[in-house]
A and B are shown apart, each in its own frame.
Chain A
Amino acid sequence: MKFRHGVQGVKLDQQKELSLKHKIKNLPMADELPLKPNFNLNGKKDYNYILNAAQKSQIVDEFDGIPLDKKLKKLRGLKPNMIVACCFDEDPWTTSAMAVLREYTAEVISGLEYAAKACGIKERKIAVATKEEAKFIKSINSEAELILAGDRYPARVLLKKKLYSQNIKAFYIGAQACLALDSAVKEGKVQQDTVVTVAGRGVERWSNVKVPLGTELKTVLKFCGVSDKTKMIITGSSLTGKAVLDLTEPVTPSTRCIIAIKKAKKDISYPCIGCEKCASACVRSIVPWKILKVMKNKKPDPLMLTNVQKCIGCQACSVVCPSGIDLAEVVKKAADLKKSGDFE
């Protein structure tokens, strides 16, 4: 018999209010750094012009790290039904995409139109997280066509699945990439700065900061008042990001947040109690508790590891497990075992 799970994904405690209280701040030392020169392009603003502008301005999409011109060329070949500007953050501590949409609504909308023109797609929508956010954006600028993504983690995958079940093939473009594309096409500017959220208990002032690309992390943290008792600094995402040891690392377009943690998570783990929370949290139909049981054998049978190669590494299963077991690691090991072919 085959059964369907209920609602997928995990509901996480959102920590977004403090960093959205104030507008996006500019880093004070930004005026001293040398600006990259603008470029000039002539001709009508058709798709060739936009693709050239995207290439010359070296824009990188902040959600997946792919350069924008490559992405637009690929989308031009694939011809999806809809292009969606991803203006929500599935990570509970990050608010950079939401802040960019709130302050630069018109620029994001026009950047999205240029991107849609470059790929030859008619339908374009802006994705926001909740109804309240949608109301807020509509009150600022009523032209935007909005679509709701929900606040369960991982929201990006869940929205794509929902649209796919309605027979719409959709692809994402990041909010800051749209903004940079707009200024590249209109004024010929190269992408020079990015908005990062600085949050966490080790930081005094949680805020969104506009940082020139290449600034060291310690400069940004000092601007927001980092305390000396911080034990860990994390970039990227609080679930799938990485811990940084050297604070002279530069800020890149895909550093969407910098989180300073004072008290590390305790490393105690209990045995599996069979509560099935991991199976309902998984978005890719993997059953992590079964994988855990199979991998405990000396010679795990790869036929019993169903669907492990589909794992996207969102860590929803590890977060929701009451026993604190690192299930994402177990599934990754199972996928490596299956791929290696190292079994009779």
Chain B
Amino acid sequence: MILNYAKGPFIKNVPTIPSMMRDVIFTLSVLLIIPIVQYGVRPLVMAVCTMFVSVICEIIFNLIQGNKIGAGDGSSLVTGLMIVMLMPVNAPIWLPCMAAVFAVIVAKMPFGAFGHTPFNPAAAGVAFAALCYPHLVFRYIDSSAKNLPAFGDCTGDIVSSTAAVLKNGLKPSILPLDMLWGAFEGPLGTTGILIICAGGLYLFIKRTANWEITAAFLAAALIIAAFWPRIECSMITSVKYELLSGSLLFCSVFMVTDPVTSPRTKPAKIAYGFICGVLVMVFRRFGAFEQGACFALLIANALAPQIDVIFSGSFETGDVLYEK
């Protein structure tokens, strides 16, 4: 036998970057099942096209820069899939693809690709699409429509989502408990509430995502929804409507917990989640669009390094952080 020489630990690391990405992709694909059953094959086509476009963009950028070509870690796939989840079903196919091109080529690759992004690329892509074509991103088809065409435009009754109704100050006609089953209008991946909760639990148990950030985020949203409701109703009803409508729950589980863009030390993570929750509720009340989760997330990402410094000392002076 021919023996090799190697150094260092000889055991395979158990959480690796590809395995963490695989967990997230698995959870997001499970979230795609109910829309496929309800609307036909269109959600699957949108997802596949967007993921394909984001991987192609990363490979082209690497070719232009002369780097090693590869999308070996699945981070582009995760970006593409998350962008699709925040779009309505009846959006034209080119819309999430355009958002993915912006997300990869402007918000991810110039900063240094995976591991060095200061802003969440998926949030940046969705924010870009929302600012350029708000009438396409926030227009939802009636949820009882079946068998939508895979590539063409959808014709059907246009209804406003729960989040839009709340923004206008009216009480939505659907009951909060009925919203749990996911048969109402909203972005593609955010209506399956129970599946999001189950997926979140899976990610927390596997330690792919930190549960502290999600808990702080939801706590902030809960407090503001309870004490400053947007509609005339009891506290509990306001909390239920606010937490179950729009992309708040989806963002809290999948996008806020991204380890690259969130702060590193534990108290800073909790503060970051809390600030992000406050910002989301502020955007919902005073912003121009019915959902402000992506914009709030981008602002919180900009604040993340400073929150880290406040809690664990400035990097320049080298304070000792930890005592055991």
A233 touching B3 by the CB < 8 A rule? yes
Most buried by A among B2, B17, B312: B17
Given the complex, which residues of B lie within 8 Å of A322, measured CB to CB?
13, 15-17, 19-20
Given the complex, which residues of B lie within 8 Å of A13, measured CB to CB?
11, 14
Given the complex, which residues of B lie within 8 Å of A319, measured CB to CB?
9, 11, 13
Interface string of A304-326 (1 = CB under 8 A from B): 10110000000100111111101
A285 touching B324 by the CB < 8 A rule? yes
Q: For window 69-118 of chain B, which residues contact chain A by CB distance below 8 Å? A: 72-73, 112, 114-116
The reply on A146 being an interface residue by CB < 8 A is no
Nearest-CB residue, chain B, relative to A321 = B13
Return the contact of A271 from the options B19, B114, B262 (Cβ within 8 A). Answer: B114
The B contact surface, by secondary structure, is loop
B323 touching A271 by the CB < 8 A rule? no
The reply on B321 being an interface residue by CB < 8 A is yes
B260 touching A268 by the CB < 8 A rule? no
A287 touching B115 by the CB < 8 A rule? no
Contacts A270-B17, A270-B114, A277-B15; is A261 near B323 (CB within 8 Å)? no
The reply on B26 being an interface residue by CB < 8 A is no
Contacts A231-B4, A274-B264, A275-B259; is A261 near B10 (CB within 8 Å)? yes
Given the complex, which residues of A lie within 8 Å of B15, measured CB to CB?
277, 320, 322
Return the contact of A241 from the options B4, B10, B264 (Cβ within 8 A). Answer: B10
Alpha-carbon distance between A137 and B2 when the two chains are bound, in angstroms: 42
Could you tell me the distance in whole angstroms from the C-beta of B71 to the nearest C-beta in chain A?
Answer: 12
The reply on A36 being an interface residue by CB < 8 A is no
Given the complex, which residues of B lie within 8 Å of A33, measured CB to CB?
none
The reply on B233 being an interface residue by CB < 8 A is no
The A contact surface, by secondary structure, is loop
B311 touching A5 by the CB < 8 A rule? no
A304 touching B318 by the CB < 8 A rule? yes
Alpha-carbon distance between A304 and B314 when the two chains are bound, in angstroms: 11
Q: For window 1-46 of chain B, which residues contact chain A by CB distance below 8 Å? A: 1-17, 19-20
Given the complex, which residues of B lie within 8 Å of A315, measured CB to CB?
8-9
Contacts A287-B322, A321-B13; is A244 near B259 (CB within 8 Å)? no
Contacts A232-B3, A271-B114; is A12 near B11 (CB within 8 Å)? yes
The reply on A245 being an interface residue by CB < 8 A is yes
Chain B contact residue count (CB 8 A cutoff): 42
Alpha-carbon distance between A269 and B116 when the two chains are bound, in angstroms: 14
Chain A contact residue count (CB 8 A cutoff): 60
B10 touching A234 by the CB < 8 A rule? yes
Interface string of A230-259 (1 = CB under 8 A from B): 111110001111011101000000000001
The reply on A303 being an interface residue by CB < 8 A is yes
A270 touching B73 by the CB < 8 A rule? yes
Could you tell me the distance in whole angstroms from the C-beta of A260 to the nearest C-beta in chain B?
Answer: 9
Given the complex, which residues of B lie within 8 Å of A231, measured CB to CB?
1-4
Given the complex, which residues of A lie within 8 Å of B323, measured CB to CB?
2-4, 285
A323 touching B115 by the CB < 8 A rule? yes
The reply on B320 being an interface residue by CB < 8 A is yes
Most buried by B among A230, A259, A273, A315: A273
B10 touching A238 by the CB < 8 A rule? yes
Nearest-CB residue, chain B, relative to A202 = B1
The reply on A78 being an interface residue by CB < 8 A is no
The reply on B144 being an interface residue by CB < 8 A is no
Return the contact of A243 from the options B6, B259, B320 (Cβ within 8 A). Answer: B6
The reply on A229 being an interface residue by CB < 8 A is yes
A-B contact pairs, 29 of them (CB 8 A): A1-B312, A3-B267, A3-B312, A3-B321, A3-B323, A4-B322, A226-B1, A227-B1, A232-B5, A238-B10, A239-B11, A240-B9, A243-B5, A272-B115, A273-B259, A274-B259, A276-B264, A276-B266, A279-B322, A285-B322, A287-B322, A289-B264, A293-B315, A304-B318, A315-B8, A318-B9, A320-B14, A322-B19, A324-B17
**Residue positions of A touching B, CB distance < 8 A:** 1-5, 8, 12-13, 92, 226-234, 238-241, 243-245, 247, 259, 261, 264-265, 268, 270-277, 279, 285, 287, 289, 293, 301, 303-304, 306-307, 315, 318-324, 326, 328-329
Query: 4 closest Cβ contacts across the A-B interface?
Result: A271-B115, A304-B318, A2-B323, A315-B9
